[in-house]
Structure 1
Amino acid sequence: MRSVKTETHLSDGRLRLYRMAAVCLGVLCVLQVTLNISLRLAFYNRGNVTAENDQLQTSYNTLTEERDQLQTSYNTLTEKRDQLQTSYNILTKKGDQLQTSYNTLTKERGQLQTSYNTLTKERDKLQTSYNALTKARDQLQTSYNTLTKERDKQKRENNDLMAKFSNLKQTYPEGWQIKLESSWYFLSTVKKPWRESRQDCLQRGADLVIVNSDKEQEFLFGLTKGAWIGLTDSVTEGTWKWVDGTPLTTPSYWYTQQPDNGGDNPANGEEDCVELNTETWRPAKAWNDQSCLHNRYWICEKVV
């Protein structure tokens, strides 16, 4: 019995060994298969990895080259940027200087504009003054030309009269002069009051002169420095009449503000007689009313 049990026990042990061996063999087979698969996979993956590594290396090299190019471009751009920054700084500085110059020029322009406006106003004032002076000069020139013509005309007339007088002076009594063909004139050499002067003319068959025209007035003006003429308002104050009784109707030759009857000054007395004043006045303004009691030369006129 013991042998049977021992054999049985040995059989079970062998069986277990067999089983263990079988299991180990199976495990080894599985391991072998697994190893084969792993090796195949490893070799396959290694080939793929190598290809990928080559691609990656190529990409890396390409990227490295691009990086270097980019780095070079970056350095170039950085250098250009620095140059541009320097140029920008220079231009900014010049811009500030130009702005300062512009502000200065603007200020100077404003000052010049103000000066120009002032000078323009002064020029306009001067132009106005110049125009006024030119107008006044032209007026004076016109007056001068007119007076020159009148003077020349008077000289010619006086020369004509003097020539006639020279030709006729031997024909007429001493002291008498002739104007035109109608009147003789006598100029006294002494002075007397108006009434005595007229009495002398009446004794000579004449009377104090009556002025009838501008030509006669100019002629008489050239004969004397001051003399009585035949005009008076002794009858009615302010009503002037000639010695022949005719009123003063022809153009008169009163001096400015004359007649004034002595300016109503009692010291001057009544000024009722007219003198021809040739010392400082012009022919057209040579009459002056005077007191009849004053002594003056006189002019007699005889119409023939």
Structure 2
Amino acid sequence: MADYVNKQVIELKEVNQENQNRATRSVKTETHLSDGRLRLYRLAAVCLGVLCVLQVTLNISLRLAFYNRGNETVERDQLQTSYNTLTEERDQLQTSYKTLTEERDQLKPIYNILTKERDQLQTSYNTLTKERDQLQISYNTLTKERDQLQISYNTLTKERDQLQMDRDDLTSKFSNLKQTCPEGWQIKLESSWYFLSTETKSWKESRQDCLKRGADLVIINSDLEQEFLLSFNKRAWIGLTDSVTEGAWKWVDGTPLTIPSYWYSQQPDNGGDNPANGEEDCVELNTETWLPVKAWNDQSCLDNRYWICEKVV
């Protein structure tokens, strides 16, 4: 725009200069004209110059007006476009805001529910953690008990196997003994064989018979054996005597009597101090008339009685 104005100013100056030159030439060539006519020409030249200046100024103003109007139109159109764009964006943002507000309102109850569920889950988690710790302690305790039981089980298994071997061995021996046992012998769980005579003899003769059979008069070691012998229901010699020292009762194997609880009431009495009875230094098991367990009686060794032999396997 500035270049255009400068160009018009230059053209105006050139026109004025040309008019001046023409006026000068006219003055030189027409010197013979009168001064009144000269002034007229000069006035005309000046008017013409003013008109040219006005024309140039008008042209410049019109050009500037059209130029500014064009720029304003472009700027207006650009502003209108920007305004329309901003209006659309505002409407879109308003719509998005409303949508987000609605979604927020919808999500808030869900958030509250999820928060409660989270708190409940946290409580459940803490409870489960405590239970897990307690179970871990119980597991460790049970593991120790299991290990101890395993050790006990292994020990009992070994003992069972050993007892099984012992039982098998005893069963084998029992089978062998049963096959070779003479007639008239009876067996007891303690692996001892017993023989009850069918005739009567003195204590010494009875013992000799047992020795010939590879046995000896019975030695009673337990209540079970005492009850077992009661089933014979006989008055029979057993291997107990005080013939060496009066009152010092010993079994035939030399061991002293340690279980005097099987004496019958008021026995032993050594014949009750009756010379007719003689010395009563041998013991009989009187199951014929004394049925209770306590059925021992001291008797004269010369009397004839049945006898019981015992063979320990």
Q: Same fold (TM over 0.5)?
A: no
Normalising by structure 1, report the TM-score. 0.44
